[in-house]
Amino acid sequence: MEEHIERNKRVLEQWERFHRQEPVDESAVRPLILRSWKRCRLQGVRPDNASKVSLSPAALEKLLDRNADLVAVAKSIMEKLYNPISTSRSFISLSDAQGIVLHALWDNTGSYPIPHLAPGNLAAESASGTNAIGTCLVEHTPVETLASEHYCRSFHGWFCSAAPIRDSRNAIVGVLNVTLPSALYHHHTRGMMEAAAHAIAEQLRLRLLLQEQKAIIEMLDEGVVVLEGDGTIRTLNNKAQAMLDLPPDAVHGNIQDIIFSSDIIRAILSESGQFSDQEAFLQLKGGSLNCMLSLTRLESGKGRVLTLRETKRIKESAVRVTGAKAVYTFDHIVGNAPATQEVVRMARMAAQSDVTTLILGESGTGKELFAQSIHNGGRRANAPFVVVNCGALPRNLVQSELFGYDEGSFTGASRLGKPGKFELADNGTIFLDEIGEMPLEAQVSLLRLLQNGEVTRVGGKHTRLVNVRVLAATNRNLENAIRQNAFREDLYYRLNVFTLVLPPLRSRMSDIELLAEHFLLKFAGSLGKDVRGFTPGALALLRRYQWPGNIRELENVIERMVHMSQGVPSIDIDVLPANILNHEGIPGACRVPPSLGGSFRIRRRRPSSGRFRRPGATSGRPRRPSAFPGAACTSRCAVSACRRTSAGRVREEGRWEIWRGRGNFL
């Protein structure tokens, strides 16, 4: 204490000499303090008394709004610091980066003067001279000012200790200061203030981080719930709060008090619990929620993040989930034949309602094209369009794929179950292609769904209402299938509400040229070929062919012809497939490639009653394989019934029935 008094006397002597503008003993005054005195003299600060610079109430209110987080964090720490010294005529203050006091604690019942520490007052050196706050802001370091070290005489009875508060970029955002009577000086005060300022800075950074995280999760279009290991809710966004119908104080609750589905709770709280995009049926206090759940464990292993997506969002993403997309409209249907125009007219009528529609037609007639056009032409155009190929589904998985399954339905089933195609198509359209191949047991469930609009998952206890427009297609004769007990009669009548019968290509021969030119333009563009049309001879052969594969066969033929065209503006008969040439009975001969060896018999296919004779169905001979697909005939065949090329010969890819010896197929 005596040392402290003696030091103050020496400093006071030098203070008086400084203000008399006499030489100062720099060994008696700390360099930091002397630098501050010189700055204050240059700024014209009055040494006899500090000037009082205060903000207006309105300006102070705006300043407090800008520094709300700083004040909110610092208040609790300042109160802890002030409680032990509250009876010692002491002050604790918080200033911003310019030295304006934002918040202060003091015993305002006393009669002692309040220095420059009232909220709204400026504590910078320019107004209050050398003091811990102002000098700290200039020197960017913790500062203590004791008694005579203050530039203004009115502060010589006080001891101040201030420490800067820095943000994540190390910039000063405020100053924490304690002011005590000079007799209460203690050398540990500086360390205490530095620790308190650091604590405020850390809490500010944490608060900012939480605010950023909160802003991020609030931007998400899905519910987010952050859980402790025992299920206690750490935080959640407004989306989750609304989906789960929770009150504002639910953040302090436990997920087990909100979701009453035991199997889902077990999955969430499991030690190894982690899953993605699992649909769940949640039982809540006020009802139920059908949503998609994802669970991610935090790296610390002590918490997890649960996300919830609305069912409607799931349905809107059905295209992505199923890989199906309705891209065709009625504008994509090519044809002017009366049969074509009539079926398009009927399809447009079907598109105007949600009537169940059965599309019949041979393979390759464009059943899915019409299904997509009907979907896009109706009010469900922006809703999901889900395609199911009933003939491609494994028999034992048809039920689960169409109608979904719940937890534990079978070995390998997902823990939270899985929605079926009908649930994914809710409010949209489902296209059941090859409906004639659906197993009888699945037909029973489909009939129930069409009648009641309800889906019951495999192994499930709950029914789910779905609103789905059903389009079905087949190339089978369903009436014959009914007689053979391969298709349910009641399901047939339920599907056959509105029927479209697509004409085969041979019934709309006037469309062949139009379709051929359409496909030619398509493939010429994609393959980079400068092909602009067909020769009359090639076009005549395309018109005469019966096209058992319908439009799909025509498309494939045109693609092949464009591929084979080499530097010619028009496609000629030299690139026509052999089956089209043979259909015309074009004579010719072909040499068998020598590499094949052996003894061969080569015979051209010839049409019989508008259809090709089945390979191997010749009199007195066993049935043989239909073609030799691996070799292309390289000989030039004489063609008498078609227009000859300039070389007088036509190159034809041979498709021959070839066998050697006693029925050994090559």
Alpha-helical (H) ranges within 377-472 are: 398-403, 421-424, 440-452
Residue 617 has pLDDT above 60, yes or no: no
pLDDT given for residue 612 in this prediction: 39
Instruction: Grade residue 221 by pLDDT with cuts at 50, 70 and 90.
Output: confident
pLDDT given for residue 112 in this prediction: 52
pLDDT given for residue 516 in this prediction: 93
Q: At 282, which helix (H) or strand (E)?
A: strand 275-284
What is the sign, positive or negative, of the torsion defined by CA atoms of 304, 313, 370, 418?
Answer: positive
Selection from 179, 133, 125 nearest residue 157 by Cα:
179
Instruction: Grade residue 316 by pLDDT with cuts at 50, 70 and 90.
Output: low
Give the tens place of pLDDT for each residue, 134-162.
Answer: 999 999 999 999 999 999 998 998 999 99
Selection from 151, 175, 174 nearest residue 32 by Cα:
151
Which of 69-78, 99-108, 581-590 has the highest average model confidence (pLDDT)?
Answer: 69-78
Instruction: Grade residue 606 by pLDDT with cuts at 50, 70 and 90.
Output: very low
pLDDT given for residue 1 in this prediction: 59
Angle at 75 between CA 73 and CA 81, to 5 degrees: 115
Residue 511 has pLDDT above 90, yes or no: yes
Confirm if 135 and 145 have CB atoms less than 8 A apart.
yes
Residue 62 has pLDDT above 50, yes or no: yes
Model pTM above 0.75: no
Q: What percent of the chain has pLDDT over 70?
A: 81
Residue 381 has pLDDT above 50, yes or no: yes
pLDDT given for residue 584 in this prediction: 58
pLDDT given for residue 311 in this prediction: 67
Cα distance from N-terminal residue to C-terminal residue, the chain: 114
> Of residues 36 and 251, which shows the higher confidence score?
36
Q: Going by DSSP bridges, is the β-strand pair 303-310/287-297 parallel, antiparallel, or unpaired?
A: antiparallel
Residue 257 has pLDDT above 80, yes or no: yes
Confirm if 371 and 471 have CB atoms less than 8 A apart.
yes
Average pLDDT (195-201) is: 94
pLDDT given for residue 312 in this prediction: 62
Total residue count of the chain as it appears in this document: 666
The single residue listed with the structure tokens 């090329």 is: 645
Q: What percent of the chain has pLDDT over 90?
A: 45
Instruction: Grade residue 261 by pLDDT with cuts at 50, 70 and 90.
Output: confident
Report phi then psi at 403, rounded to 5. -115, -5
- Extended strands (E) in 167-273: 172-181, 223-228, 233-236
Instruction: Grade residue 602 by pLDDT with cuts at 50, 70 and 90.
Output: very low
**DSSP single-letter state for residue 113:** P
Residue 318 has pLDDT above 70, yes or no: no
Report phi then psi at 388, rounded to 5. -125, 120
Q: Which residues contact 477 (CB under 8 A, 6 or more apart)?
A: none
pLDDT given for residue 492 in this prediction: 94
pLDDT given for residue 424 in this prediction: 83
Residue 88 has pLDDT above 80, yes or no: no
Both tokens of 5, joined, read 């008094």
Average per-residue pLDDT for the chain? 81
Confirm if 267 and 275 have CB atoms less than 8 A apart.
yes
> Of residues 597 and 69, which shows the higher confidence score?
69
Average pLDDT (318-329) is: 66
> Of residues 317 and 419, which shows the higher confidence score?
419
- Quickly list DSSP for 69-81: HHHHHHHHHHHHH
Both tokens of 283, joined, read 């039982």
Instruction: Grade residue 262 by pLDDT with cuts at 50, 70 and 90.
Output: confident
Average pLDDT (336-355) is: 94
Alpha-helical (H) ranges within 20-151 are: 31-42, 57-66, 68-82, 125-128, 132-139
pLDDT given for residue 481 in this prediction: 93
